[in-house]
């Protein structure tokens, strides 16, 4: 366990679970030293194990993936600072439905699921915040499934790139937030299909050099994505 820093506290306050709650109540609930440092590649929890903790990412990145009987893993989500995961499992007291692994050095807030359920029983505000946090992740999952079902690989990649550019126009130069292989898995693509998608996006003004992406005209890429729906 590690000591909480001001940066940790800032991420906790930004999280959906605690953003609407009084600071004194949150600090009292969390107690001392609830922070866990993770090395890159460290498994935080495993699919099928008892869901004994609720997690909020304070820094770094965490991927959630499922490994079916066939053995091929499927990335469900990648979470960054202030984002939570395993809410439903923590609330139900069941088992983790996915494996969580740090894809970079990461810091996590780990909360006992048992203590969280006990606290929720007597705190309506915390209960509503927990439902709000769970609904955010459900919305993200539904949007993810919709894109997998309705967009081609190149269109999903264009959507991902546009999520990095933010609300601006003109040209943009970006750094990929993590490895291409991980992005491919997140987008439901093999490394080979990811490379083909990058090649197809060149005609729409996208070029890639290692971990750098150049978009010649964001509006042009937006038009391509709109036409793909």
Confidence (pLDDT) at 33: 63
Q: Model confidence over 161-181: pLDDT tens digits?
A: 999 998 888 999 999 999 999
Confidence (pLDDT) at 1: 65
Confidence (pLDDT) at 67: 82
User: Is the separation of the CB atoms in 15 and 79 below 8 Å?
Assistant: no
Instruction: Read off φ and ψ for residue 16, nearest 5 degrees.
Output: -60, -30
Confidence (pLDDT) at 137: 85
**What is the pTM assigned to this prediction?**
0.86
**Domains, the chain, ranges and CATH?**
6-149 (2.60.120.10), 151-228 (1.10.10.10)
Within a 10 A sphere around the Cβ of 135, how many other Cβ atoms?
12
Confidence (pLDDT) at 134: 85
Confidence (pLDDT) at 200: 95
- The Cβ-side half-sphere exposure at 32, using a 13 Å CA radius, reads 0
Name residues of the chain where pLDDT drops below 50: none
98-110 exposure pattern, b = at least 16 Cβ within 10 A, e = fewer: bbbbbbbebbbbb
Burial (CB < 10 A; 0-12, 13-18, 19+), residue 33, is exposed
Query: Per DSSP, which regions of the chain are E strands?
Result: 35-38, 43-45, 53-59, 62-66, 74-79, 84-85, 99-102, 106-112, 172-175, 206-209, 212-215
């Amino acid at each position: 366990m590690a000591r909480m820093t001001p940066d940790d506290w800032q991420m906790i306050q930004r999280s959906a679970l605690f953003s609407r709650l009084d600071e004194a109540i949150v600090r009292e609930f969390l107690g001392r030293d609830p922070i866990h440092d993770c090395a890159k590649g460290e498994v935080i929890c495993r699919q099928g194990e008892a869901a004994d903790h609720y997690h909020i990412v304070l820094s770094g990145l965490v991927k959630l993936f499922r490994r079916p009987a066939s053995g091929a893993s499927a990335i469900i989500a990648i979470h960054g600072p202030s984002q939570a995961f395993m809410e439903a499992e923590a609330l139900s007291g069941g088992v983790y439905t996915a494996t969580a692994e740090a894809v970079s050095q990461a810091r996590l807030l780990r909360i006992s699921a048992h203590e969280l359920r006990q606290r929720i029983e007597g705190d309506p505000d915390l209960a509503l915040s927990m439902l709000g946090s769970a609904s955010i992740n459900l919305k993200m999952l539904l949007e993810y499934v919709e894109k997998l079902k309705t967009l081609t690989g190149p269109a999903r990649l264009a959507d991902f790139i546009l999520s990095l550019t933010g609300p601006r126009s003109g040209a943009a130069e970006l750094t990929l937030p993590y490895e291409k292989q991980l992005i491919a898995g997140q987008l439901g693509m093999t490394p080979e299909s990811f490379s083909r998608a990058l090649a197809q996006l060149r005609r729409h003004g996208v070029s890639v050099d290692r971990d750098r992406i150049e978009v010649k005209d964001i509006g042009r890429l937006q038009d391509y994505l709109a036409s793909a729906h």
